[in-house]
Structure 1
Amino acid sequence: MLKAVLIDDEYIVLEGLKEHIDWASYGIELAGTAGNGLEALDLFRRVKPDIVMTDIRMPGLNGLQLIEQVMQEEPGTICIVFSGFNEFDYIKTAMKLDVVDYLEKPVTIEKVEEALERTMRKLGQRQQVSALESRLAESREELLAKAAMDLLLLGEEGADRFRACFGEEARQIAAVTVLVFPSSPSAVSAQLGCRHIVMKLGAVWAVLLVHMEWPVEAAWEELASASAEMSETFGSGQTYGDVEGARLSYLEAQRALRYGRFLEEPGWVRIEHVGGTAADPGNMSEHEEAILFHMRTNNKAGLIGQLEAFNSWMVGERLDPEHAEQEMLKLAYIGMQAVKEMGIDARQPGKPAAIQHQELSGMHTREAMFAWLRRHMETLMERAEEARRAPKHQLIEKAQDYIRKHYHLDLSLQEVADHVGMNATYFSLLFKEKTGTSYIKYVTRIRLEQAKALLRSGLKVGEACEKVGYYKYRHFTELFKKHYGYTPSQYREQHELKHGGGQT
């Protein structure tokens, strides 16, 4: 039910209209009355009515001044004025203020009822238009979300349709990035200032960030702030300067999410922090991607399970021997590539490094061919396990020393991995295994500990922020508070108080 308020400085008018009009029959509740403009403004702010009916000439604050204030605070309010015969100038002003109707004095029951009927008709028309506009906007959003899904799943094939649905502003798109969440990302996406499209894709949720400005550091600052307290992992792909790059970013974000879960990293995990891209090692099938993942993470049970799933797939597809041989050889080479990334010699004693194709070609049943593949992959996994048990602390220590010397620079995981001569993805996994923490958390801890030392030495917060490699004051402050429970400014003040008291 709509709420209305009635304002007039004549008590008899107020009481007459209040008692003799069946307000409820119009779907209206008379929520209050006032005898002057100041009381009316107070009543309006308390009640928040949908309809304001007011005389123009009133003490304290006249009706036009009241309506002007009402429309500033609640632009959608319906205003009806009462005016005398000689007050046309007031009426003109009232119309400029979007007053929907006026009643000439003396005000009667019949006039008010006719005005209410006109008002309800106008309101119905307005609501119909609003509903149509709302449905049109929802339809556009649905079309854009569908186009965004096609863009992530099809890549270049969906790019033109996405631009068409995005509208004229598509020409101004500077870059795109994709985030992938295991559940609804509403808590994070609601805090993002940049244009974004949320969609459900299978078992995950994807958020397409559409950057209208370059560079995109402001968006990263917002994302870091929004995800600061998250306990759930989500991944992001690289940022690409054209719409067609959205699919690659989506695949990378999926990979970042997967490795983030394996590394038990809560919050935001960027593909740059785990190594690798969607384009490396190429257009891989679901089976191939999963097998590579289990090889890299030394998950023997997961590898065997995925091989069995692959075997079931071959049975269901009724592959001919030549096709089955090609698929198995491809997996065998993927396994070889995985152990080579770890710096492991995959050759068996007394045999060359290459896979022996003739062994597989001489087999006549799928069962025999699959048994060969399984033995090959298990052998590779055993060699990987042996290599992982061998001391690799020297390489990790070398990496840690490099980080301590260069933490103040924009130090990527890839750069550190290259420094110690390791594959970036394998390096990130081994680093977590040997240090108990991820690469990005380790660098963050080094930076923040050094920042504390700089603050104790007397540097201002902004100076310390830049010296340890952070260029966004807000992001630095939030990280500091998240790790230590207080802001850099509070830490500096506490140290100064202790120092002033004779403590070091």
Structure 2
Amino acid sequence: MLKALLFDDEYIVLEALSALVDWEGLGIELAGTAGDGIAALALFRAERPDIVLTDIRMPGMDGLTLIEQILQEGPDTICIVFSGFNEFEYVKRAIQLGVADYVEKPITEDIIEKALRKALEQIGSRNETKALKLAWENSRQELLEKATWELLQYGRPALPKWLESAGEDAHGIVGVTVLAASEDFPWPPLPDTLSMSLRNGPEFLNVLFHTVEPTRELWDSLVGAADHAEKSIGIGLTYAEPADAANSCREAQRALKSALFLQIKGAVRFDELGSLIKVPDGLHEREEALLVSLRAGSRSGLLEQVDRFILWLHAERLDAEIAEREMLKLIYLALDVAQETGESSGKPAALREGYMPHVEIREAAARGGQSQWFRTQFEQIADWSLKAKGNAKHIAVEQAQRYIEHNVSRDVSLQEVANHVGLNATYLSVLFKEVVGETYIKYVTRYRMELAKVLLRKGLKVQEASEKVGYLTHRHFAEVFKKYTGLTPGQYKDGESEKTGPRTKE
């Protein structure tokens, strides 16, 4: 509801107009009355009304002086003045001051309501104009933001559209600089600069269009604001042409990425990254140490190497994009090593189809979390690789056992079995002890003797049983059989096996 004030030095006029005019029906609140100019001005300052109705002649401060002061302090205020038939010069002066209407005395209810309706029309028309202007400004701002965003993405091809959207503001631009922050940053107001704040996913960009060459003081104020807020921001280079805003944007984003990776709370300028954009000595040795730990199957050793690698990257103050590239290279190398087992079941996310580490690490980088992401990938790879290696051990021993069973009638050597399963003979011997619980020789001997016992119970002759289990002479077979069972093959065959059990003499 609109607000109005009524001023007149005649008490009866104030009372009559207050009571007779249908203020509420007009959509107006009569917020107060005053009988002299000084009190009227104080009431105006307290209420800040939309409409003022005042007599021209009042004690303390005349109506003209009051109107002049009101319109100076509240130029949008609609002023209606009361005048007598012989006060033409006063009315003329009031119109020059900018009053919206005047009412001749004697004042009636109808005359006042007519003046108020006219004032309401003026207010409505003015508000409609303001709304249209605001809508136009908002639309222009939206178009300018869109054009600026396209300028950051496409550079020179987007310049004509940006120039059209910027209008007259584009003529005074002498340079452009882009800033990037990972959080909503309270950008300080900067002199001689037109700024445009944009959101790019997790990043907050601020494009500075300079109307004068930026000074050292300007950068100092930005750095100081970032330090004070303890926020990480990246600052691109300043370019003379708005068309080069895309270059400054990429530089600001890279500087921000480095600030987040190195955990710098403050501003990092792209031109300060020169010493960081390098591959330092010692990188290859650390990569090799990490992969050796993975091949060795030591989870704790691997993660220790990962932590050392991350600490080294930070200590070298490596540029984030260089560090990101090296991390990705190590992830892919580790995946190759982990998949050497050929195991395909139960793979972690880092080994499944559709895994895109180059996308994930950039998402992590936007939060400054590349290092933690890198460690998590190696934890997953290590856990799966160790499990797969364990499964592979059992599979190799099972293959060796089946080969021995199928060739038990021959004198099969450890080397022959190792060649069959594709392992080093010494390593296979170790696996037998680890998986089966006994050495290869003991396992082969035990399998042959148990099979010989079955054959003898079936009625085979000692010589036949000896040949079936791979012994060239029955005498050697008899010696081994007695050492294993405590009986000769003949005794066992004649039924004396019930008197004694197998022996496991070392």
- Normalised by the length of structure 1, the TM-score is 0.55
In the TM superposition, residue 97 of structure 1 has moved relative to its aligned partner by 2.2
Find the residue that maps to 2:209 and give its secondary structure: strand
In the TM superposition, residue 162 of structure 1 has moved relative to its aligned partner by 1.0
Distance 2:334 2:110 in 1: 84
Distance 2:31 2:100 in 1: 20
1:203 equivalent in alignment to 2:198? no
1:130 equivalent in alignment to 2:138? no
Find the residue that maps to 1:24 and give its secondary structure: coil
Partner of 1:140: 140
Q: How much identity, in percent, do the aligned residues show?
A: 42
CA 218–114 in structure 1, closer or farther in 2 if over 3 Å, else same: farther
In the TM superposition, residue 268 of structure 1 has moved relative to its aligned partner by 2.4
Spell out the pairing of 1:295-310 with structure 2 (5 A cutoff): 296-297=322-323, 304-305=330-331
Partner of 2:457: none
CA 239–18 in structure 1, closer or farther in 2 if over 3 Å, else same: same
Partner of 1:229: 228
In the TM superposition, residue 206 of structure 1 has moved relative to its aligned partner by 1.1
The answer (yes or no) to whether the contact 2:80–2:100 under 8 Å persists in 1 is yes
Distance 2:80 2:329 in 1: 75
CA 53–190 in structure 1, closer or farther in 2 if over 3 Å, else same: farther
The answer (yes or no) to whether the contact 2:261–2:320 under 8 Å persists in 1 is no
The answer (yes or no) to whether the contact 1:8–1:58 under 8 Å persists in 2 is yes
Partner of 1:102: 102
1:169 equivalent in alignment to 2:169? yes
- Worse-superposed segment, 219-228 or 102-111: 219-228
Distance 1:39 1:53 in 2: 14
Distance 1:193 1:107 in 2: 55
In the TM superposition, residue 189 of structure 1 has moved relative to its aligned partner by 5.1
What is the one-letter code of the residue matched to 1:96? Q
Partner of 1:242: 241
The answer (yes or no) to whether the contact 1:294–1:302 under 8 Å persists in 2 is no
Partner of 2:254: 255
CA 37–160 in structure 1, closer or farther in 2 if over 3 Å, else same: same
Deviation readout 1:157-211 (Å, 9 max, x if unpaired): 11121112111231221100001122333x2256776211111123212111010
The answer (yes or no) to whether the contact 1:181–1:257 under 8 Å persists in 2 is yes
Spell out the pairing of 1:23-422 with structure 2 (5 A cutoff): 23-185=23-185, 187-188=186-187, 194-217=193-216, 219-224=218-223, 226-275=225-274, 296-297=322-323, 304-305=330-331
CA 251–299 in structure 1, closer or farther in 2 if over 3 Å, else same: closer
Find the residue that maps to 1:25 and give its secondary structure: coil
Find the residue that maps to 1:75 and give its secondary structure: coil
Find the residue that maps to 1:229 and give its secondary structure: helix
CA 248–91 in structure 1, closer or farther in 2 if over 3 Å, else same: same
Q: Which has the higher contact order (CA 8 A, sep 6+)?
A: 1
Spell out the pairing of 1:5-24 with structure 2 (5 A cutoff): 5-24=5-24
CA 54–296 in structure 1, closer or farther in 2 if over 3 Å, else same: same
RMSD (Å) for aligned C-alpha atoms: 3.5
Distance 2:217 2:90 in 1: 50
Find the residue that maps to 1:103 and give its secondary structure: strand
What is the one-letter code of the residue matched to 2:42? D
Distance 1:102 1:144 in 2: 45
The answer (yes or no) to whether the contact 2:192–2:210 under 8 Å persists in 1 is no
CA 216–191 in structure 1, closer or farther in 2 if over 3 Å, else same: closer
Structure 2: any 5+ residue segments left out of the alignment? Answer: 278-317, 336-348, 359-506
Larger gyration radius, structure 1 or structure 2: 2
Q: Number of aligned pairs? A: 307
In the TM superposition, residue 216 of structure 1 has moved relative to its aligned partner by 3.6
The answer (yes or no) to whether the contact 2:8–2:58 under 8 Å persists in 1 is yes
Deviation readout 1:364-405 (Å, 9 max, x if unpaired): xxxxxxxxxxxxxxxxxxxxxxxxxxxxxxxxxxxxxxxxxx
Distance 1:229 1:210 in 2: 24
Deviation readout 1:258-298 (Å, 9 max, x if unpaired): 111122222322223333799xxxxxxxxxxxxx9567448
What is the one-letter code of the residue matched to 2:14? L
- Normalised by the length of structure 2, the TM-score is 0.55
CA 276–2 in structure 1, closer or farther in 2 if over 3 Å, else same: farther
